[in-house]
Amino acid sequence: MPQSKVAGPERAADDSKKVPACSGPAEDTDAARRANVPARTSQGIDWRVRLRRDRTLILMTLPAVLLVLVFNYVPLLGNMVAFQDYDPYLGDNALQAVRESPWVGSEHFSRMVEDRLFWQALENTLTIFLVQLTLFFPVPVLLALLINSFVRPRVRAVAQAVLYLPHFFSWVLVVTIFQQMFGGAGMLAQTLREHGYEGIDLMTDPGLFKFLVTFEMVWKDAGWGVIVFLAALSVISPDLYEAAAMDGASRWRRMWHVTLPALRPVVALLLVLQVGNALTVGFEQILLQRTAVGPTAAEVLDTYVWNVGIQYGDFSYAAAVGVIKGIIGLGLVLAANKVAHMMGEQGVYKR
């Protein structure tokens, strides 16, 4: 016992010699400056350290950033022609034509308000968007839950590949396949005629057009959304399911209380992005079928801009419609993101 009483203070004294005293932020900064090493800031690692650490990732993302700048942000400068009476023949090149074209202010926007065809295109766009939001958006979530319930990984991989394959088809091929199935000379019409019924042509029915383009989108792009939701499901800890099963929760209870809450942030994010694309409902897809059903049912804002700007050469008015479309889309994104914040989700950006 006496030895332990003596050894205790001696050991404590030796340990105090080995362990250095804690230094404050000022001493760390001075030491880092003397060692020519960037000091840690109050917000974390110094930006120069992060730049050296992530230089490989930054170089990898530079081509994508350049593509976005060239094809998404640089063309925004051309929106100035919405306030001009733009004539491409006033100069030897586009820049000279912009300089020479007279300014007309908000004349094209006033014309837009009085244009009946513009309001009809806007109405068709919003109608198709609401149908797609109701019928298309839940499909990838349900398919992801179904595929995730498969026990065998091989069956899961085959199902995912089959669903994802149509995403690589062009809209020309997709419309052709639907024409061969549901057109006037398609498989469905021929089968009905063989059994004594009158054949039907779903591809030329204006009343069914909004549902037709929605089902085409479901068949083509549902597999893409499945991948996103399966990635979200893969990060759910199996311990949560095991704990819920031990508490007596059934399969449906585990899905309701474990799986769906884990998917909620991804659903909120994709829903905000989907609302942002409310006025973009598929230019190529609708343009290919516009003639079959007529402009009354198939004229949307994208095809309207195409007809006015490209076919009739009214570039300034088409640019004005594009500006209004972008402003409305931005407002929808901000509103949807605000709703996501009110629901407790992050959305596109944090508060």
Digit-coded pLDDT (tens) for 68-104: 999 989 988 888 999 999 988 888 888 888 888 999 9
Q: Computed from CA positions of residues 81, 84, 89, 91, in that sequence, does the dihedral angle turn out positive or negative?
A: negative
- Could you tell me which residues are beta bridge partners of residue 44? 41
For residues 138-167, give the mean pLDDT: 84
- Please enumerate, as own/partner, the contacts of 326-335 that have beta carbons within 8 Å and a separation of 24 or more: 328/278, 328/279, 329/276, 329/277, 329/278, 329/279, 329/280, 330/276, 332/275, 332/276, 332/278, 333/272, 333/273, 333/275, 333/276, 335/275
Look at residue 351 in the predicted model and tell me its pLDDT: 67
Asked whether the predicted pLDDT for residue 172 surpasses 90, the reply is: yes
For residues 152-164, give the mean pLDDT: 84
The tokens of 135 are what? 């019928």
Asked whether the predicted pLDDT for residue 29 surpasses 50, the reply is: no
Look at residue 318 in the predicted model and tell me its pLDDT: 93
Look at residue 253 in the predicted model and tell me its pLDDT: 85
Asked whether the predicted pLDDT for residue 58 surpasses 70, the reply is: yes
For residues 226-231, give the mean pLDDT: 86
Q: Which residues contact 304 (CB under 8 A, 6 or more apart)?
A: 117, 118, 121, 321
Asked whether the predicted pLDDT for residue 15 surpasses 70, the reply is: no
- Only one residue has tokens 């997709």, namely 174
The residue among 233, 339, 29, 133 whose CA lies nearest residue 38 is: 29
The residue among 83, 76, 119, 115 whose CA lies nearest residue 101 is: 83
- List, for residues 288-344, the tens digit of each pLDDT value: 998 889 888 899 999 999 999 988 888 999 999 999 998 988 888 888 888 888 877
C-alpha separations of 28 from 21, 33, 41, 270 in Å: 12, 9, 10, 44
Q: Which residue has the higher pLDDT, 119 or 20?
A: 119
For residues 191-197, give the mean pLDDT: 87
Whole-prediction pTM: 0.77
Look at residue 44 in the predicted model and tell me its pLDDT: 65
